[in-house]
Amino acid sequence: MKLLLIGAGNMGGAMLQGLHVNDITVVEAYPTRAHELQTLYPTIKIVSEIPPLEGYLVILAIKPQSFATLKTKGIAEGVISIMAGVSLEKLKSGIMAKHYIRSMPNMAALVRKSATSLCGDIALKDEAIDVLSSIGRCFWLESEKELDIAMGIASCAPAWIALVAEALSDGAVNLGMKREITYQYIATLFEGVGEVLKSEHPAILKDKVMSPAGTTAAGYAKLEEGKVRDSFIKAMEASYERAKGMSK
Protein backbone atom coordinates (compact mmCIF):
# COMPACT_ATOMS: atom_id res chain seq x y z
CA MET A 1 0.00 0.00 0.00
CA LYS A 2 1.16 3.53 -0.74
CA LEU A 3 1.96 5.69 2.27
CA LEU A 4 1.14 9.36 2.65
CA LEU A 5 2.96 11.12 5.50
CA ILE A 6 1.33 14.41 6.41
CA GLY A 7 3.81 16.33 8.55
CA ALA A 8 7.53 15.69 8.73
CA GLY A 9 8.62 17.45 11.89
CA ASN A 10 10.45 15.73 14.74
CA MET A 11 8.26 12.63 14.93
CA GLY A 12 7.32 12.43 11.27
CA GLY A 13 10.95 12.94 10.33
CA ALA A 14 11.98 10.20 12.73
CA MET A 15 9.50 7.83 11.09
CA LEU A 16 10.99 8.58 7.68
CA GLN A 17 14.24 6.96 8.80
CA GLY A 18 12.49 3.61 8.61
CA LEU A 19 9.79 4.35 6.06
CA HIS A 20 11.74 6.01 3.25
CA VAL A 21 12.34 2.66 1.53
CA ASN A 22 8.57 2.30 0.93
CA ASP A 23 6.37 3.90 -1.72
CA ILE A 24 5.86 7.05 0.31
CA THR A 25 4.76 10.58 -0.43
CA VAL A 26 5.52 13.30 2.11
CA VAL A 27 3.44 16.45 2.50
CA GLU A 28 5.73 19.27 3.64
CA ALA A 29 4.65 22.87 3.12
CA TYR A 30 7.90 24.54 4.20
CA PRO A 31 10.42 24.71 1.30
CA THR A 32 13.50 24.64 3.55
CA ARG A 33 12.35 21.49 5.34
CA ALA A 34 11.25 19.92 2.05
CA HIS A 35 14.72 20.51 0.57
CA GLU A 36 16.34 19.05 3.67
CA LEU A 37 14.21 15.90 3.46
CA GLN A 38 14.82 15.51 -0.28
CA THR A 39 18.57 15.66 0.36
CA LEU A 40 18.34 13.05 3.10
CA TYR A 41 15.98 10.77 1.15
CA PRO A 42 16.40 11.31 -2.62
CA THR A 43 13.93 8.55 -3.55
CA ILE A 44 10.87 9.89 -1.71
CA LYS A 45 8.27 12.13 -3.30
CA ILE A 46 7.66 15.44 -1.56
CA VAL A 47 4.63 17.63 -2.25
CA SER A 48 3.47 20.90 -0.73
CA GLU A 49 -0.26 20.11 -0.83
CA ILE A 50 -2.25 17.03 0.22
CA PRO A 51 -3.19 14.90 -2.81
CA PRO A 52 -6.51 12.98 -3.07
CA LEU A 53 -6.48 10.26 -0.41
CA GLU A 54 -7.67 7.30 -2.49
CA GLY A 55 -5.28 4.36 -2.35
CA TYR A 56 -3.18 5.79 0.48
CA LEU A 57 -2.50 4.71 4.04
CA VAL A 58 -2.25 8.12 5.67
CA ILE A 59 0.07 8.85 8.60
CA LEU A 60 -1.00 12.02 10.39
CA ALA A 61 2.04 13.53 12.10
CA ILE A 62 0.91 17.14 12.35
CA LYS A 63 0.42 19.13 15.54
CA PRO A 64 -2.98 18.45 17.19
CA GLN A 65 -3.95 22.12 16.95
CA SER A 66 -3.48 21.97 13.17
CA PHE A 67 -5.94 19.12 12.71
CA ALA A 68 -9.02 21.37 12.77
CA THR A 69 -7.76 23.24 9.70
CA LEU A 70 -6.73 20.12 7.74
CA LYS A 71 -8.28 20.03 4.28
CA THR A 72 -8.44 16.68 2.45
CA LYS A 73 -10.30 15.14 -0.48
CA GLY A 74 -11.31 11.54 -1.00
CA ILE A 75 -11.36 8.46 1.21
CA ALA A 76 -8.09 6.92 2.40
CA GLU A 77 -7.55 3.19 2.81
CA GLY A 78 -6.64 3.92 6.42
CA VAL A 79 -5.43 6.63 8.78
CA ILE A 80 -2.76 6.27 11.46
CA SER A 81 -2.70 9.29 13.74
CA ILE A 82 0.20 10.07 16.07
CA MET A 83 -1.44 13.27 17.32
CA ALA A 84 -1.77 13.50 21.08
CA GLY A 85 -5.24 14.21 22.40
CA VAL A 86 -7.12 13.67 19.13
CA SER A 87 -9.62 10.88 19.75
CA LEU A 88 -10.78 8.32 17.20
CA GLU A 89 -14.14 10.08 17.14
CA LYS A 90 -12.48 13.39 16.23
CA LEU A 91 -10.35 11.66 13.59
CA LYS A 92 -13.43 10.22 11.92
CA SER A 93 -15.07 13.64 11.78
CA GLY A 94 -11.97 15.34 10.34
CA ILE A 95 -10.64 12.99 7.65
CA MET A 96 -12.36 10.31 5.56
CA ALA A 97 -10.97 6.76 5.63
CA LYS A 98 -12.06 3.13 5.66
CA HIS A 99 -10.22 2.39 8.92
CA TYR A 100 -8.63 4.38 11.74
CA ILE A 101 -5.77 3.85 14.19
CA ARG A 102 -4.69 6.14 17.00
CA SER A 103 -1.09 5.73 18.12
CA MET A 104 1.31 7.28 20.60
CA PRO A 105 5.05 7.02 19.88
CA ASN A 106 7.66 8.62 22.13
CA MET A 107 10.79 10.67 21.56
CA ALA A 108 12.96 7.53 21.36
CA ALA A 109 11.62 7.26 17.81
CA LEU A 110 14.57 9.50 16.96
CA VAL A 111 16.83 6.48 17.53
CA ARG A 112 14.18 3.97 16.39
CA LYS A 113 13.62 2.73 19.95
CA SER A 114 10.12 4.08 20.55
CA ALA A 115 7.64 2.25 22.77
CA THR A 116 4.57 2.93 20.63
CA SER A 117 1.02 2.37 21.85
CA LEU A 118 -1.82 1.95 19.38
CA CYS A 119 -5.51 1.12 19.26
CA GLY A 120 -8.41 1.32 16.83
CA ASP A 121 -9.82 -0.76 13.99
CA ILE A 122 -8.64 -4.38 14.05
CA ALA A 123 -8.78 -4.45 10.25
CA LEU A 124 -5.84 -2.02 10.14
CA LYS A 125 -3.93 -3.47 13.09
CA ASP A 126 -1.31 -5.52 11.22
CA GLU A 127 -0.49 -2.81 8.70
CA ALA A 128 -0.29 -0.16 11.41
CA ILE A 129 2.09 -2.28 13.49
CA ASP A 130 4.21 -2.94 10.41
CA VAL A 131 4.48 0.81 9.75
CA LEU A 132 5.08 1.86 13.35
CA SER A 133 7.61 -0.92 13.96
CA SER A 134 9.95 1.16 11.80
CA ILE A 135 10.52 3.40 14.84
CA GLY A 136 10.61 0.80 17.62
CA ARG A 137 8.37 -1.70 19.39
CA CYS A 138 4.57 -1.61 19.20
CA PHE A 139 2.01 -2.38 21.91
CA TRP A 140 -1.57 -3.02 20.79
CA LEU A 141 -4.15 -1.81 23.32
CA GLU A 142 -7.86 -2.59 23.53
CA SER A 143 -9.20 0.91 24.17
CA GLU A 144 -8.45 4.62 24.11
CA LYS A 145 -8.56 4.60 27.91
CA GLU A 146 -5.56 2.25 27.91
CA LEU A 147 -3.87 4.51 25.36
CA ASP A 148 -4.32 7.49 27.67
CA ILE A 149 -2.86 5.50 30.57
CA ALA A 150 0.04 4.34 28.41
CA MET A 151 0.83 7.97 27.56
CA GLY A 152 2.34 8.23 31.03
CA ILE A 153 4.54 5.15 30.55
CA ALA A 154 5.70 5.73 27.01
CA SER A 155 5.36 9.42 26.20
CA CYS A 156 5.79 11.20 29.53
CA ALA A 157 8.12 8.82 31.37
CA PRO A 158 11.16 9.67 29.17
CA ALA A 159 11.14 13.10 30.84
CA TRP A 160 10.74 11.51 34.27
CA ILE A 161 13.56 9.07 33.57
CA ALA A 162 15.70 11.99 32.39
CA LEU A 163 14.99 13.62 35.76
CA VAL A 164 16.21 10.45 37.50
CA ALA A 165 19.31 10.42 35.30
CA GLU A 166 20.09 14.03 36.10
CA ALA A 167 19.56 13.45 39.83
CA LEU A 168 21.90 10.43 39.81
CA SER A 169 24.48 12.51 37.99
CA ASP A 170 24.09 15.35 40.51
CA GLY A 171 24.59 12.90 43.35
CA ALA A 172 27.75 11.46 41.82
CA VAL A 173 29.14 14.93 41.02
CA ASN A 174 28.42 16.04 44.58
CA LEU A 175 30.62 13.18 45.78
CA GLY A 176 33.46 14.06 43.39
CA MET A 177 32.86 12.33 40.03
CA LYS A 178 33.24 14.29 36.79
CA ARG A 179 29.93 15.26 35.17
CA GLU A 180 30.74 14.09 31.62
CA ILE A 181 31.48 10.50 32.65
CA THR A 182 28.36 10.29 34.83
CA TYR A 183 26.01 10.91 31.88
CA GLN A 184 27.75 8.28 29.75
CA TYR A 185 27.68 5.86 32.66
CA ILE A 186 23.98 6.43 33.36
CA ALA A 187 22.97 6.09 29.68
CA THR A 188 24.79 2.75 29.49
CA LEU A 189 23.22 1.72 32.80
CA PHE A 190 19.67 2.44 31.59
CA GLU A 191 20.28 0.61 28.33
CA GLY A 192 21.52 -2.50 30.13
CA VAL A 193 18.82 -2.55 32.79
CA GLY A 194 16.15 -2.04 30.12
CA GLU A 195 17.40 -5.11 28.28
CA VAL A 196 17.33 -7.18 31.48
CA LEU A 197 13.78 -6.04 32.30
CA LYS A 198 12.51 -7.55 29.05
CA SER A 199 12.80 -10.95 30.71
CA GLU A 200 13.17 -10.22 34.43
CA HIS A 201 10.41 -9.08 36.80
CA PRO A 202 11.36 -5.70 38.37
CA ALA A 203 10.87 -6.99 41.92
CA ILE A 204 13.13 -10.00 41.25
CA LEU A 205 15.81 -7.78 39.72
CA LYS A 206 15.63 -5.48 42.73
CA ASP A 207 15.96 -8.40 45.16
CA LYS A 208 18.92 -9.83 43.25
CA VAL A 209 20.79 -6.52 43.51
CA MET A 210 19.86 -5.71 47.10
CA SER A 211 21.90 -7.69 49.62
CA PRO A 212 21.20 -7.51 53.38
CA ALA A 213 22.57 -4.34 54.99
CA GLY A 214 24.36 -3.51 51.74
CA THR A 215 24.91 -0.29 49.79
CA THR A 216 21.81 -0.81 47.60
CA ALA A 217 19.60 -1.36 50.64
CA ALA A 218 20.93 1.81 52.26
CA GLY A 219 20.17 3.88 49.17
CA TYR A 220 16.80 2.19 48.64
CA ALA A 221 15.73 3.10 52.17
CA LYS A 222 16.41 6.75 51.39
CA LEU A 223 14.34 6.54 48.20
CA GLU A 224 11.44 5.12 50.18
CA GLU A 225 11.91 7.84 52.77
CA GLY A 226 11.56 10.38 49.98
CA LYS A 227 8.39 8.67 48.70
CA VAL A 228 9.85 8.14 45.23
CA ARG A 229 7.53 5.20 44.50
CA ASP A 230 4.48 7.22 45.60
CA SER A 231 5.59 10.17 43.47
CA PHE A 232 5.80 8.03 40.31
CA ILE A 233 2.35 6.56 40.97
CA LYS A 234 0.92 10.05 41.39
CA ALA A 235 2.75 11.22 38.25
CA MET A 236 1.01 8.46 36.29
CA GLU A 237 -2.37 9.52 37.71
CA ALA A 238 -1.75 13.18 36.82
CA SER A 239 -0.66 12.26 33.31
CA TYR A 240 -3.77 10.15 32.76
CA GLU A 241 -6.11 12.88 34.00
CA ARG A 242 -4.46 15.42 31.69
CA ALA A 243 -4.66 13.00 28.75
CA LYS A 244 -8.39 12.50 29.36
CA GLY A 245 -8.89 16.25 29.39
CA MET A 246 -7.03 16.68 26.11
CA SER A 247 -9.20 14.06 24.39
CA LYS A 248 -12.49 15.80 25.28
Strand partners, 117: 104, 139
To the question of whether residue 73 is assigned a binding role by annotation, the answer is: no
To the question of whether residue 7 is assigned a binding role by annotation, the answer is: yes
The full DSSP string for 38-49 is HHH-TTSEEESS
To the question of whether residue 171 is assigned a binding role by annotation, the answer is: no
To the question of whether residue 55 is assigned a binding role by annotation, the answer is: no
Q: What is the DSSP letter of 76?
A: B
Amino acid at 105: P
User: Is residue 75 helix, strand or coil?
Assistant: coil
To the question of whether residue 22 is assigned a binding role by annotation, the answer is: no
- Count, residues in the chain: 248
To the question of whether residue 10 is assigned a binding role by annotation, the answer is: yes
To the question of whether residue 186 is assigned a binding role by annotation, the answer is: no
To the question of whether residue 31 is assigned a binding role by annotation, the answer is: no
To the question of whether residue 245 is assigned a binding role by annotation, the answer is: no
Please check whether residue 37 is in contact with residue 14, taking contact to mean a CB–CB distance below 8 angstroms: no
**Rounded Cα gap, residues 172 and 218, in angstroms:** 16
Helices (H) and strands (E) in the chain, counts: 10, 8
The full DSSP string for 141-200 is -SSHHHHHHHIIIIIIHHHHHHHHHHHHHHHHHHHT--HHHHHHHHHHHHHHHHHHHTTS
To the question of whether residue 96 is assigned a binding role by annotation, the answer is: no
Annotated binding site for NADP(+): 6-11, 61-64
Which residues are annotated binding-site positions?
A: 6-11, 61-64
